[in-house]
Chain A
Amino acid sequence: MLQSLVPLLVDGLANAALIFFVAVGLTLVFSVLRILNVAHGSFYSIGAYAAASIGLWIVSSGFSPYLTFPALLLSAALVAALFGPLVERTLVRWTYGKSEAVQILVTFGLFLILEDLQRMVFGVQSLYEDTPMALLGITEIGGIVYLNYQLLLIGLAAVVIIGLRLLIRHTRHGKFLAAVVADREVSQTLGIDTNRVFIMAFALGVFLAALGGALATPTSGVAPGLGAETVVLAFAVAAIGGLGQIEGAAIAAVIVGLARVLAIYYAPALDAVAPYLVMLVVLLIRPYGLFGSVTTRRI
C-alpha cells in the first residue's frame, strides 16, 4: 500500500513544485502592491522562452552543456531585470488606488500585448531544450522511473520557500516589504521608500514567474499559449492558499498538485477540472482561502 502511495506523492510534489514558483510570485505581488496581475503568466512563458533560447545557444555553440543549469537562473534574472522595473514604472504604477476592474483590464491588456510579442520574437513553433534533464539522469522510485531533474525541482521549491522566509524576516529590504504589506501609510510615515519597495516586490514576482517557466523548460516544450495555461492555475493556487500568503501558496500548490495526480491516476476525466474543484470547495468553506484572513477596512 505504502509502496503504491510513493509514486503518487513524488508526482504530486513534482507537479506542485512547478505550480508553486509561479503562484508564489503572483501572491507576493498581490500582498505588497494589492493588484491581481493577469500578465503574470506571460512572465512565466517569457522565462521559459528565454531559458530554451539561451540553452539552445549554449549547446549549439559548443560550450559545456553544464552551463545550461546556470542559464536557467540567468534567464529568470534577465526577464526580471528587463520587465520588472519597466512594467511597474509604466503600467502597473498607474493602477494603484484604482478599482480592481481597472487593474485587471490593464494587466489583461498587457498580457495580450506580451503574448503577441512572444509570437513575434520566438515564432509560433514549439521549442525544446532538455539538456539539464538529460545530464541529471534517472532514479527508480516505487517501480517507476523518475527524472532526477523532477526531484531537483522539488528541492528547489523548498529552497525558494525558505529563501523567501529568510528574505522577509531577516533582511532589511524584506522587513520593508513586510512593513508595507502590514500598513502602507504608516510605512511611508516612518520613511520607507514605498515606490522602491513596489519595484522590488514586482521584480521579485516577475523573477519567480520567469524562474518557474525556465525550470519547466527541460521537461516540457515551450509554445504559444503557455502563459494563459499557467496563470489560470496560479490564480487557483493563490486563491486556495489565501491571496498574499507565501506558505499558503506552497501548501495550496501541494494540494493542487496532489489533486491533479489523483485525478490522472483514478479519474482521468477530472484531470483538467481537479484544481478548480478543490478551489471551489475551499472557497465555499473559507472564502479567504486556507491561510487568508478577513481584513478590516479602515474609514
Chain B
Amino acid sequence: MRLLKRYLAAAALIAATPAITLAQDAKRPETLGVGVFTFTSGPAAAYGLPGRNGAEFIIEMINADGGIGGVPLRATFVDEAQGAEGVISEFRRLAGDASNQVMIAALSSANCLALAPVAEQMQVPTIGWNCDTHQLLQEDYDYVFRPNGNTIPEFMAYAAYLLDKKPDVSRVAIINPDYAFGHDAAEIFKAALKAFKPDVEIVAELYPRLGASSFQTEISRLSAARPDVIFSNLWGGDLENFVRQAQPRGLFTTSQVVLALGETVLQRVALPEGVIVGVLGDGWWMSPTSMANEKTQTFAEAYRKKYGEYPVFPTMKMANTFLITKAAYEKAMKANGDAWPTRAQVAEALKGLQTTTLTGEVTIREDNDGIVDQIVGTTVKSAKHDFPVIGDMVRYEGKSLMPPVGQDPFKWISGLDKSFLETLPKPGSYK
C-alpha cells in the first residue's frame, strides 16, 4: 500500500510538471531569452553574419526602448555551420530551458525543415527569419512560423521581372546550390517560365556543392551553353566567389545575369550595371518605402557606423523578424489582460498577425506563412555611393504571387499564363 502511495505521488508530480512550467512561463521574466540560429562561420557566414549583426543591433534598439512589455531581450546565438545534427541538439537544449521563450530559427532551408518537427514537439514558438523553402509549411504546425515570405513568390517575381525586361528570352541556364533551396528555386523559376513563355529552353542546369571554392568549370560550361540568361540563387561566400570568378571570364557581358540574392554582394564586389538583382522580399533599406521611413534610415546609418557597411537584406529580414516577435508579444499581452504570455499564447498571437516592419508590411496567413512584397530591380551606378544600387525597380504585392492557402504551388503556377503578367506592375514603376 505504501509502495502504491509512492507511485501515485510520483505520478501526480510528473503530471503536474507541465502546469508548473506553464505557470513559470506566464510569470514576467527578468529577461526574454531568444535562441537565434544563423551561420557565423564558413562561406555561408557572408549571409549569416549580417543577419547576426542585425539581431544584435535591433535587440539593442528594442532594449533601449524598454524591451518588450518592459522585459529586455537576451539572445543566444547558434552557428548553423555545425550541421543539422548539432543545430537540432542546440535547439533542444535552448528550448528545454524555460527562460528561452522564442526561437528565431533558422537561416538554412535544410535546417528549418529539420527543426520544424522539433519545435512542434517542444511547443516553442519558432519564427523562421529566413527559411525560404515553400516545403516548410506543407505540414500543419502550431508553433512554426515563417513571416518573411517563401520561395514561390520570391522566384515567381524574378521570372515576371525577367520576361518584362527581356521578352525575347529563349535560352536560359541555371546555376544554383545543390540542396533544397537551390533545387526548389530552379523548379519554381522553370515552372513560371514554362507558364508565361513555354518556348524558353533550359540549356544548362548546374548544382555545385554548397561551399564550393571554385566555379571555373561551371563557368566554362555556362559559356559553352551560350544562354541569353543565367539565373542563380547562389548566396553567401558562394555568390561572392562566383561573381569574382565569372566576371573576368565575360559571363556578365555575354548573358543577362539574374542574381536572386545579388543585393547581398553589392557593397563587396563590383557588380556591373544591368544585372537583375533583388532581396527575396521587401528588405532593402534603400527602397522608396524604406527611404521614407525615418526609423529605417536611422537604423541603416547607425548600422553602418557600427559595422562599417550598410545593412544587406539578411540584416533587414532578421531585424524585421524581431519586430514581428515584439508585435506578437504585445498582441498576446493585450489579449491576456497585460499579463506575460505563455509560449502557447505567443504562438496563438502570431497567427493572423499584421504589423509594420522596417521595410514594409507583413501579414501572417492561416498557414503560418508570411505575406511580404517582392522587390526586384537592376543594378545601376549610384551618384551617392561607391557601390552599385538597385534601379528600375518593381514592387510586387506579396499576395499576388502566392498561391491560395492549401493549394499545390506548382499546380497553381501551371494554371497561369502570359495574361497573368499583365496584371502585375512593370519594371521602373516603383520609384
- Hey, which bits of chain A sit against chain B, CB under 8 A? 4, 7, 10-11, 14-15, 18, 119, 124-126, 128, 130, 133-134, 138, 143-147, 150, 216, 219-226, 229, 260-261, 264-265, 268-269, 271-272
Interface hub of B46, B205, B223 (most chain A Cβ within 10 A): B223
Asked whether, in the complex, the Cβ of A146 is within 8 Å of the Cβ of B249, the reply is yes
Given contact pairs A138-B250, A223-B211, enumerate 14 new A-B contacts (beta carbons under 8 Å): A125-B46, A125-B49, A126-B43, A128-B244, A145-B223, A219-B216, A222-B213, A224-B42, A225-B42, A225-B211, A268-B204, A268-B205, A271-B206, A271-B207
A126-B46, A126-B240, A144-B223 as given contacts; A264 in contact with B218, CB under 8 Å: yes
Chain B hits for A150, CB < 8 A:
216
Once the chains bind, are A221 and B244 in contact (CB under 8 Å)? yes
**0 or 1 for each of B246-272: is its CB under 8 Å from A? (1 = yes):** 001110000000000000000000000
- B194-233 near A? 1/0 per residue, CB < 8 Å: 0000000000111111010110111011011000000000
Q: Contact size class for B?
A: 20 to 34
Determine the chain B residues whose CB is within 8 A of the CB of A130 once the complex forms. 244
Report whether B217 and A261 are in contact in the complex, using a CB–CB cutoff of 8 Å.
yes
> Which residues of chain B are within 8 angstroms of A133 by Cβ–Cβ distance?
248
Say yes or no for B150: interface residue by CB 8 A criterion.
no
CB interface residues, B 157-205, toward A, < 8 Å: 178, 204-205
Candidate in B204, B207, B221 with the most chain A CB atoms within 10 angstroms = B221
**A133 CA to B223 CA in the complex, in Å?**
19
The answer, among B42, B224, B248, for a CB contact under 8 Å with A147, is: B248
Given the complex, which residues of A lie within 8 Å of B208, measured CB to CB?
271
User: Taking the nearest CB of chain A, how far is it from the CB of B185, in angstroms?
Assistant: 16
Q: Chain B 62-96, CB within 8 Å of chain A: the 1/0 string? A: 00000000000000000000000000000000000
Tell me, in angstroms, the Cα distance from A226 to B249 when the chains sit together: 24
Smallest CB-CB separation from B223: which chain A residue? A144
Instruction: Please indicate the chain B residues that have their CB under 8 angstroms from the CB of A260 in the complex.
Output: 217
Q: Are A226 and B248 in contact (CB under 8 A)?
A: no
In the complex, chain A residues whose CB is within 8 Å of the CB of B221: 264-265
B81: shortest Cβ distance to chain A, in Å? Answer: 8
Q: Bound complex: CA of A21 vs CA of B26, how far in Å?
A: 62
Separation of A179 and B71 alpha carbons in the complex (Å)? 74
Interchain residue pairs with CB less than 8 A apart (21): A14-B216, A14-B217, A119-B41, A124-B41, A125-B46, A128-B244, A138-B249, A144-B223, A145-B249, A219-B245, A220-B213, A220-B214, A221-B43, A221-B240, A222-B213, A223-B237, A224-B41, A264-B206, A264-B217, A271-B207, A271-B208
Which of A4, A146, A268 has a CB less than 8 Å from the CB of B207? A268
B45 within 8 A of A: yes
Q: Is B40 on the interface with A (CB-CB < 8 A)?
A: yes
Closest to B207 in A: A268
* Beta-carbon contacts under 8 Å, B258-300 to A: none
Question: CA separation between A246 and B409, bound complex, in Å?
Answer: 55
The reply to whether the CB of B31 lies closer than 8 angstroms to some CB of chain A is: no
Which A residues are CB-close (under 8 A) to B237?
125-126, 221, 223
B400 within 8 A of A: no
Q: Judging by beta carbons under 8 Å apart, are B224 and A144 in contact?
A: yes
Q: Is B355 an interface residue (CB 8 A)?
A: no
List the A residue with the shortest CB-CB distance to B41: A124
Q: Chain A residues with Cβ under 8 A from B218's Cβ?
A: 264
Contact status B220-A134, CB under 8 Å: no
Return chain A residues, CB-CB under 8 Å to B354.
Answer: none
**For the complex, what is the distance from the CA of A265 to the CA of B249, rounded to whole Å?**
17
Chain B CB within 10 Å, residue with most, of A15, A18, A225: A225
